[in-house]
Structure formats: structure tokens, C-alpha cells
Amino acid sequence: MFISQNFEMDSFSQNPEFTIHSFFTFLDTTIMAVEFEGGVVIGADSRTTTGAYIANRVTDKLTPIHERIFCCRSGSAADTQAIADAVTYQLGFHSIELDEAPLVQTAASLFREMCYRYREELMAGIIVAGWDPRRGGQVYTVPVGGMMTRQPVSVGGSGSSYIYGYVDSNYRAGMSKEECLKFTAEALTLAMERDGSSGGVVRLAVISEQGVERQVILGNQLPKFSTV
């Protein structure tokens, strides 16, 4: 149940010390974030597993870090919750000091600092996305290992492996908010159909200057594809 290996994680997966203990709660997941003109759309599935048992089938993996900055969590549930709590505190403090809304890049940097410094102890793949007045909607990905990079569209989690083709072929720059929502919902649905560690409902959120709009797509309302 490793996170997808598209970044330089050879050292991580070949590290002989690393074993999966059977009672970690994992957010082996599908998470996704897309930038559009005026904001970002983020989405995630809702499954948390301990081994083969689904500990929580309605998890909310889209965690608010600040008013208009969210993070999508994948990997170890305990690690990502602890990191998100720490960064929420640090960013809140920083924002009060600055007396203005924090930058999404600042939030992503704080995540990166923690994920890189403690990379041997942590298992966390995080996508930071939000809107700030200076640079608009932004998506930063901080995968396992602690790298940080900005991408217009980013997917993560174990289910992401199955949708790279779909995302690469269907993403166009300059999509509208509705198109992004449909794109995200469909991509997540396809991943959830194929990945055993992803499932439940699709949680979506749109972050823009106006604020945050959240929605849930229940299992029976998911988009239907011909083979599934």
C-alpha cells in the first residue's frame, strides 16, 4: 500500500527499515487539485483503512488550514493529521503577525519544511491548494519525501496511478469552474472504481475570492462510465 512512485522515492521504497505495521490507519487515497481562473477545485475520496478493514468510510480528507487554504491528505492518517494541525497553528500565528491573509506558497512551504525535515519518520503525501489575493488560485504538491512544486493540476494517493492517463489527456488550461468540478469528479470516480484503497463518497471544494463552497457526491450519484 505504497503511495505512487512517480517522484524520486527510490531511497524511500528500498529502505529496508520501512515496514508496514498492520494497524496503521492509512489514507491510501485518491486526492486531486486543479487550478482555474479565479480559484482552485480540490477533491478527494472518503476511505480510511486499517489493513483490509475500512475504519472510516466518510472521511473528510480536505482539511482547512486557513480561511482560503486547504490541504488534501494522503498516506498515514496520524501523520497527516498531526502535520496539518501543526501547520494550521503556525500559519494562523504567521497570519496574525502579518495582519493579512497568508500566501498559499507560505502554507506549502511550511508543509514542505516539516515533511522534509522528518522525512524518515513520516509517511505523508499532501496537496496544498487555495486562493490568495497576490497570485490567485494555486496548487502545490508536497509528496512523500518532502519535495514541493507548483502544478496546474495535481493528483496524489494510491489511486492516482490509475488516472494519470485520464488527467493528462483531459486537462486543458483555461477551464471554467464547472468544467473543473466535472473533471475532478470524473477522475476521482475512475480512480475509486479501480483502486481498492479508495472509495466511499467524493468530496469536492471550490476555493476562490468569494470563499469556500463544499459539496459531496454520494455513491449512487457518481458519474457513470461504460465499463464500470
Residue 25 binding other proteins, by CB under 8 A: yes
Site for other proteins in 101-130 (CB under 8 A): 121
| Smallest distance from other proteins to CB 82, Å | 5
Residue 13 interacts with other proteins (CB under 8 A): yes or no: no
CB 23 to other proteins: min, Å: 7
For residue 126, which of 103, 146, 106 has the smallest C-alpha distance? Answer: 146
49 part of the interface to other proteins, by CB under 8 A:
no
CB within 8 Å of 138: residues ≥ 6 apart: 35, 40, 104, 105, 129, 130, 131, 132, 150
| Contact between 138 and other proteins per CB under 8 A | no
User: What mask of x and - would describe binding to other proteins in positions 147 to 186, judged by CB under 8 A?
Assistant: ----------------------------------------
**Of 19, 25, 29, 63, which residue is the catalytic one?**
29
Of 35-43, 73-81, 191-199, 217-225: span binding other proteins (CB under 8 A) = 73-81
CB of 206 to other proteins, least distance (A): 23
Residue 81 CA from chain centroid, whole number: 13
Q: What is the 3-state secondary structure (H, E, C) of the chain?
A: CCCCCCCCCHHHHCCCCCCCCCCCCECCCCEEEEEECCEEEEEECCCEEECCEEEECCCCCEEEEECCEEEEEEEEHHHHHHHHHHHHHHHHHHHHHHCCCCCHHHHHHHHHHHHHHCCCCCCEEEEEEEEECCCEEEEEEECCCCCCEECCEEEECHHHHHHHHHHHHHCCCCCCHHHHHHHHHHHHHHHHHHCCCCCCCEEEEEEECCEEEEEEECHHHCCCCCCC
Q: At its nearest, how many Å lie between other proteins and the CB of residue 204?
A: 20
- Comparing CB distances to other proteins, the nearer of 9 and 163 is 9
Q: Does 24 bind other proteins (CB under 8 A)?
A: yes
Contacting residue, 76, 95, 158, 197, with other proteins by CB under 8 A: 76
Q: Does 10 bind other proteins (CB under 8 A)?
A: yes
- Is 29 a known active-site residue? yes
Q: Kindly list the catalytic residues.
A: 29
Binding footprint of other proteins on the chain (CB under 8 A): 8, 10-11, 15, 21, 23-25, 48, 50, 53, 55-56, 58-59, 76-78, 81-82, 85, 121
